[in-house]
Amino acid sequence: MGLDEALRFIRVAAAAAPFAAEPQKEQQQQQQQQQKQQQQQRHRIKQQRQQQQQQQQQQQKQQKQQPWYNQVSLSRRYGLQEIEMQEKRQQQKSSADAAAADSSSSSSSSSSSNISPSEAWLLQRMQRFRVTNKMIETLEAAYKERRPCKLCIEPGKPAAAAAAAAAAAALAAAAAAALAAAAAALAAAAGGGAIPDALAAALRAAFAADATALPAALAAAAAAASLAAALAAAAAALVSVYLLLLLLLF
């Protein structure tokens, strides 16, 4: 190698020297940053461990201060600790669920704020009454054709059952009144005497069994009353004949 080539080589190397030193400086800086980060992570881990140890020590002290601690076995203590951990997890989960519910309610409220007053009125009525698809279709057709319409709510099964019960109660009251009138008439026909208990019980049983059998029961009661009147008349005749015989003999 001649002097000229050596001088060229030296000049090029001197010009490239600062550029060659830059990557080394960058590597050193990166290594220093990595070391700092590692040290910071180690310091954080140590702090977390120390905090956990302090918390555990405080919990143990609190448990030892409780009166039941000396009376509970080790397995029971571990079980109680597990239960406490589960409760904490459930509380955290419930708080997260509550936050999600709040966010959903806020979104629903923001969406509900876009509802017009007429739509809000319709929603309230739909919540109070049962609205079918047919009713909605009819209302939509009337709205499109600009026709006046009215919403009629027919009584359902509970209303029909209540009406039938009221009609049955009225029928029962009328039948009871008719039975009382018939009993009074029979008593008057029997000569002012009271109807026997057996006859009254029979009438009540017939009415309780079937309200439609009331005319037949009244007819049977009338026949029994007439028979009782005839027997009473025959007994009176026999008594009079017996008295006449006694007079004739003495």
| Same domain assignment for residues 48 and 76 | no
Please determine, for residue 64, whether its predicted confidence score (pLDDT) is greater than 50.
Answer: yes
Mean pLDDT of all residues belonging to the chain: 64
Task: Give residue-wise pLDDT tens across range 79-103.
Answer: 656 677 777 777 778 777 777 776 6
For 121-246, where are the E strands, in sequence order? none
| Same domain assignment for residues 5 and 18 | yes
Residue 6 belongs to a domain: yes
What is the pLDDT at residue 62? 77
| Same domain assignment for residues 65 and 80 | no
Report the domain count for the chain. Answer: 4
**Structural domain containing residue 211:** 172-249
Estimate the crossing angle of helix 197-209 against helix 157-189, to 10 degrees: 160
Task: Give residue-wise pLDDT tens across range 184-243.
Answer: 555 555 454 444 555 555 555 555 555 455 555 556 656 666 666 677 777 777 767 666
Task: Give residue-wise pLDDT tens across range 98-136.
Answer: 777 766 655 555 544 566 666 666 666 655 555 566 666
Q: Which residues contact 1 (CB under 8 A, 6 or more apart)?
A: 9
| Same domain assignment for residues 95 and 29 | no
Residue 152 belongs to a domain: no
| Same domain assignment for residues 200 and 133 | no
- Which conformational region is residue 136 in: left (phi greater than 0), alpha (psi within -120 to 50 degrees), or beta? alpha
What is the pLDDT at residue 207? 52
The CA–CA distances, whole Å, from 57 to 52, 69, 73 equal 9, 15, 19
d(CA 166, CA 217): 25
| Same domain assignment for residues 183 and 242 | yes
